[in-house]
Amino acid sequence: LLASKLWFGADESAKFSLVCQTGNDYLQSSLCRAIDVLIIDADDGLAPPASMRTQSFWESIALPTLSHNCVVGVNVIGNQNERDELQNVLRKTLPAHYDVISVSAPPEAGVSSRHALFFAIPEGILQGTYNFENFVDMPHCWKKEVDSSYLSHGKN
């Protein structure tokens, strides 16, 4: 709960409903309703967990809970092959109107190359409209990485 407040600007308000459960448990519960923003965070090791990297998880558990224009963010830790596999699962599973991009952490973040952020975004939602100012250290460095990812995926 503290991390969601510190790193994502979340608070208990009309804008956010914070849930303190594992992702699988919550997404399968009757409490889950149309999600507008899904953030799958990670701490260390292989992340997200193996159970949340499968096509079955995304098709059967996550996808049915997402609103039509849900923005998905996944903090990924793994080698290049593991990251590619998850990105392929997201591209195969999410609707055709989604862009799936991988954003490397900027060198200034001081994390290993095993770390990346994946965004699954309905076309046109994020591009040019984001402001990281209150959410990350060195927002200009992250903006540069997001812009670079968009360009490398053929998005203008």
pLDDT tens for 139-156 read 677 677 777 766 665 554
Q: Hunting for tokens 């040019």 — which residue is that?
A: 128
Q: Given pLDDT bands bounded at 50, 70 and 90, which one contains residue 21? A: low
Q: What percent of the chain has pLDDT over 70?
A: 65
The predicted structure's pLDDT at residue 151? 63
Q: Hunting for tokens 């499968």 — which residue is that?
A: 54
pLDDT tens for 79-121 read 999 999 999 999 999 988 888 888 888 888 788 888 888 888 8
pTM, whole model, 2 decimals?
0.74
The predicted structure's pLDDT at residue 81? 93
Task: Give the whole-angstrom CA distance, residue 29 versus residue 3.
Answer: 23
The predicted structure's pLDDT at residue 107? 82
pLDDT value at 58 more than 90:
yes
Q: Are 151 and 128 within 8 A, CB to CB? A: no
Q: What percent of the chain has pLDDT over 90?
A: 17
Average pLDDT of every residue of the chain: 77
The DSSP secondary structure of the chain, one letter per residue, reads: -HHHHHHH---SSSS-----S-HHHHHHSTT---EEEEEE---SSSBS-GGGSSHHIIIIIIGGGEEEEEEEEEEEES-HHHHHHHHHHHHHHS-TTEEEEEEEPPGGG---TTEEEEEEEETTSSTTT---TTTSSSHHHHHHHHHHHHHHTT--
